Chains A and B, each alone.
Chain A
Amino acid sequence: MSYRTHASRAEAFVLDHERTSWHDETLWFVRQKRDKAVYAVPEFQELRNLASAIKDHTLSQLDFYLEQFEAAALANGVRVHWAADAAEHNAIVLDIIRARGATRVVKSKSMLTEECHLNPYLIEHGLEVIDTDLGERIIQLRDEPPSHLVLPAIHLKKEDVGETFFKHLGTAEGLTDPQQLTEAARQHLRAKFLAGEVALTGVNFAIAETGSVVVCTNEGNADLGVNLAPVHIASMGIEKLIPRLQDLGVFTRLLARSATGQPVTTYTAHYTRPAEGREMHVIIVDNGRTKQLGRPDFRASLKCIRCGACMNTCPVYRRSGGHSYDFTVPGPIGSILSPNIDLKKHSTLPFASTLCGSCTDVCPVKIDIHTQLYKWRQIVAEANGLLVAKKLGMQFMGRLLASPAAFKLSGQLARRGLRLLPHALSHNQAVNAWAIARELPEPPKQSFRDWYAQQAPTPSA
């Protein structure tokens, strides 16, 4: 079976009713933790406004802030690299590692390197790459992509983790105790940390004024990796910049509350300059971002700070799972980022939403996600990504609904047809997707307009 569309992949996910409930409830629990943390900060909405304005400002003068950042980082002794796309980024990483003659790489969480498919590239070139974030390590062992920005293994239950560790880390068969499983991962990772020659990290925020990069984790794995290995490579998208150190507090207050309901991430590490005798590299990556910056309707998507709140709140994501999006960044934010990368491949993602708007309401930097979904739909349809039959149907509908007489007649015919058709035909699930889970409304004999016409003389319109 091929799963070409979000709907077909989602259908496969939702087939397991119990697991879907579990996935939905787990993420709803995170959303509730977020709500509690948000309600407790009276100025939370002001913080969102401020964060949104800072990001808007930064994006409007990105060239300036990128150069300011580069100059400051260079002055700190950091080596700065520029990558136009994923291929350039990966080649730069490989060059740095090879120049040191290193083979063992430890990596903390980075969605950018996921986006660039860095791991398979480095492994193909004979390197050992170990993801050190617990969730990332679990899915790396299973050879799966992350299903969530912040909770990459949220699609897995503890039983799944037990099975994975039994297979790869030699834990006892059937072990499901989270404490013991975590301890096994800790011991396994500790050895990898100690042997690491190069530490790769992502970047949550890059501060133009100081040239520092800020990495937020809950496990401290970025810190351990960077402080043990002689070389640190930090990969960042061009949109990670904020102007000043004093702006950072706005974002750190928003990030963890929005992501998991914590007041702040457990570790917020500032990397400004390499320690004596060590190397620090920052790779600044475009990979489609300037293209998105050039689209006025979608520019704001670059404000994203990757908190994952839109996923936790999205009723579709919670019931279809991150893998149903088939894109590095799943959920609502992924559905407005992905069409910029490959409109055809991701053409169904803007439609994987009811446009309920909850994503927009939780977004800490106030990206108008659901409005952008609506706008991508127009572009997809214009590009004929919409099935031709559906498109023709829409043109027909457009004419029909602009004509009162045609509308009245077709309504009468449809209602009469529904009344006359046997239930098995009108509710045939092969042709009527409505009827899979629902009854059709019982068609009344009379429409409102027919009733009204009988009540009174038609008032002039």
Chain B
Amino acid sequence: MKVALFVPCYVDQFYPQVGIATLQLLGKLGITAAYPPGQTCCGQPLANSGCERDALPIYRHFVETFQDYDAVVVPSGSCVYHVRKHFDKLEQTPAVQRVRANTVDLIDFIVDKLGITTLPGAYPHKVGLHLSCHGQRGLHQANESEVTPVRDGHLRRLLAGLDGIELTELDRNDECCGFGGTFCVSEAAISGRMGHDRVQDHLRNGTQVLTGGDMSCLMHLQGIVRRQKLPMKVLHAVEILNGIS
């Protein structure tokens, strides 16, 4: 299996450690992922702003960069969702269809493709899991509270399997954090308030380490945690999963 790593644009620039941890964790699981250096972005920031047409060159570039791989692993459900759902605007050549089908979130890749359901290691902290909406509702990585009270999902189970870990039970399990791409600046007041409320839910229920599968939500929440000088660490889940083993 020829595996490529796609590191989302903002992760590349601001959170290189997340890309590094992804590469290392995949390595430990026996997967050598290539990093095609020509990669840039999935185009979501433009498309969500209504400029889908201007994003088409980015889509094409993404397809050209990754068309020869059997899996394009991404430590971000949001980018995966965008490639899968919104690359329908491209002419559906075999290459486009292949890339759309092969682009996969890191955690889904580990569990569904590699068949790994537990990772060894201990993480004796109280961990709050933030579900990204694109991951959860878009890719159905976890049950939606709109449908059922049963809480599940690959990431929740992987984390719960670590020794000594305690997962925070939130008052609102899957409320949006308010990042929303350009929403975070175009509706800055509401976005800030949503993030504040999300962080407070974690704080109230004892989260020491706030984690999730999407660094974009976490960048926003971390910005609030740091502004309010709250006693909470913010890490991408792969940083935890790579760090323990």
Contacts and interface: CB of A to CB of B under 8 A. Distances in A.
Interface stretch (A3-11, A58-66, A204-212): A3-11
Contacts of A313: 146
Interface in A324-354: 350-354
Interface in B179-200: 179-181, 183-197
A402 B137 contact: no
Interface string A367-386: 00000001001111110001
B53 A382 contact: yes
B147 interface: yes
Nearest to B35: A452
Nearest to A432: B185
Contacts, number: 230
A45 B172 contact: no
B218 to A, nearest CB: 10
Contact of A354 (B36, B54, B178, B193): B178
A358 B12 contact: no
Contacts of A433: 184-186, 188
B46 A404 contact: no
A408 B178 CA distance: 28
B192 A459 contact: no
Nearest to A403: B40
Nearest to B145: A35
Contacts of A35: 145-146, 149
Given A407-B40, A441-B15, A6 B187 contact: yes
B124 interface: no
Interface residues of A, number: 74
B180 A354 contact: yes
Contacts of A443: 13-14
A93 to B, nearest CB: 38
Interface stretch (A79-87, A144-152, A289-297, A391-399): A391-399
Contacts of B166: none
Contact of B190 (A10, A448, A458): A10
Contacts of A122: none
A3 B9 CA distance: 34
Contacts of B45: 397
A404 B39 CA distance: 6
B189 A402 contact: no
Q: Which size class do B's interface residues fall under?
A: 35 or more
A403 B36 CA distance: 13
Interface string B23-47: 1000000000011111111010111
Nearest to B226: A439
B58 interface: yes
A7 B38 contact: no
B180 A401 contact: no
Contact of B37 (A350, A351, A404): A404
A391 B51 contact: yes
Given A7-B189, A20-B193, A35-B149, A398 B13 contact: no
B223 interface: yes
A353 B189 CA distance: 13
Contact of B197 (A6, A24, A446, A451): A24
A316 B197 CA distance: 12
Contact of B38 (A38, A404, A439): A404
24 contacts: A7-B189, A14-B193, A45-B147, A316-B187, A319-B197, A354-B178, A356-B137, A358-B176, A377-B48, A378-B53, A386-B50, A390-B49, A394-B51, A394-B54, A397-B54, A398-B55, A404-B40, A434-B185, A437-B193, A438-B226, A439-B223, A441-B222, A449-B7, A461-B34
Given A398-B51, A441-B219, A447-B16, 11 more contacts: A316-B194, A319-B190, A354-B194, A355-B134, A358-B176, A361-B147, A394-B49, A404-B40, A434-B184, A436-B189, A461-B39
